[in-house]
């Protein structure tokens, strides 16, 4: 170990330690300033790259929808109107209520009206099962929940893929926005929100 002597056990030279610390601090400060500039330049370059407009289709041409099944058909509703999806565990029927009102359930400390769209869409009504889901619709606050046999997924569609529904579609056309090439029926959420005031 030439060049390195054995540490002596004598008194500590605090002046020498302070001098060495100050020298190391100045060296680090110089290195930090340069790397801070480099970091700033890198961040500015990334900001310029992120600020460039994306080449994707404009947002108005795309629809983000939640898909669900109801009476063996696949439906979709725009996700901006969907506030939540939950499994229906407890439902209190409302005898004498006019369709499509089906009942109420407790949800997040409040009573939520549940609508059965099968009647409104002109579909056959089947019994509920333990997989039944409720899709909560609203704009700022929950307006009501709609029954679904199953909630599926979040999908992004091109608005141009949603076409006018053909003649003979079982669902009432007034609540339909259109149909996709794979036969998914896209509901018009603003019309649905008028079902229950």
Q: What is the pLDDT of residues 144-161, one digit of tens each?
A: 999 998 899 999 999 888
More confident residue, 68 or 49: 68
Structure tokens of 148?
Answer: 């679904």
Q: Helix/strand/coil (H, E, C) string of 10-33?
A: CCCCHHHHHHHHHHHHHHHHHHHH
Q: What pLDDT shows up at residue 13? A: 86
Q: Please report where in the chains the tokens 């400060």 appear, as a residue.
A: 29
Per-residue pLDDT at 135 exceeds 90: yes
Regarding beta strands 133-138 and 62-70, do their DSSP bridges make them parallel or antiparallel, or are they unpaired?
A: unpaired
Q: What is the pLDDT of residues 56-66, one digit of tens each?
A: 445 568 999 99
Asked if residue 188 lies in contact with residue 164, where contact means CB atoms within 8 angstroms, the answer is no
Flag whether pLDDT at 176 surpasses 80. Answer: yes
**How much is the pLDDT for 86?**
93
**pLDDT digits 0-9 by tens, 6-48:** 555 678 888 888 998 888 887 776 655 557 777 788 788 877 7
DSSP state of 7: P
pTM: 0.65
Other Cβ atoms less than 10 A from the Cβ of 149: the count is 18
């Amino acid at each position: 170990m030439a060049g390195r002597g054995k540490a002596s056990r004598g008194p500590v030279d605090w002046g020498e330690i302070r001098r060495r610390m100050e020298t190391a601090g100045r060296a680090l400060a110089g290195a930090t300033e340069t790397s801070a500039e480099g970091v700033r330049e890198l961040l500015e370059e990334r900001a310029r790259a992120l600020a460039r407009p994306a080449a994707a289709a404009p947002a108005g041409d795309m629809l983000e929808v939640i898909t669900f099944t109801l009476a063996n058909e696949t439906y979709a509703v725009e996700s901006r109107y969907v506030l939540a999806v939950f499994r229906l565990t407890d439902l209190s029927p409302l005898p004498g209520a006019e369709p499509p009102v089906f009942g109420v359930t407790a949800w997040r400390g409040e009573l939520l009206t549940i609508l059965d769209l099968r009647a409104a869409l002109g579909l056959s009504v089947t019994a509920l099962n333990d997989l039944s889901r409720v899709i909560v619709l609203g704009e700022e606050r929950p307006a009501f929940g709609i029954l679904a046999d199953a909630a599926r997924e979040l999908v992004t569609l091109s608005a141009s893929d949603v076409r006018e529904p053909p003649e003979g579609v079982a669902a009432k056309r007034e609540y339909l926005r259109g149909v996709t090439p794979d036969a998914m029926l896209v509901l018009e959420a603003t019309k649905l929100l008028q079902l229950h005031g």
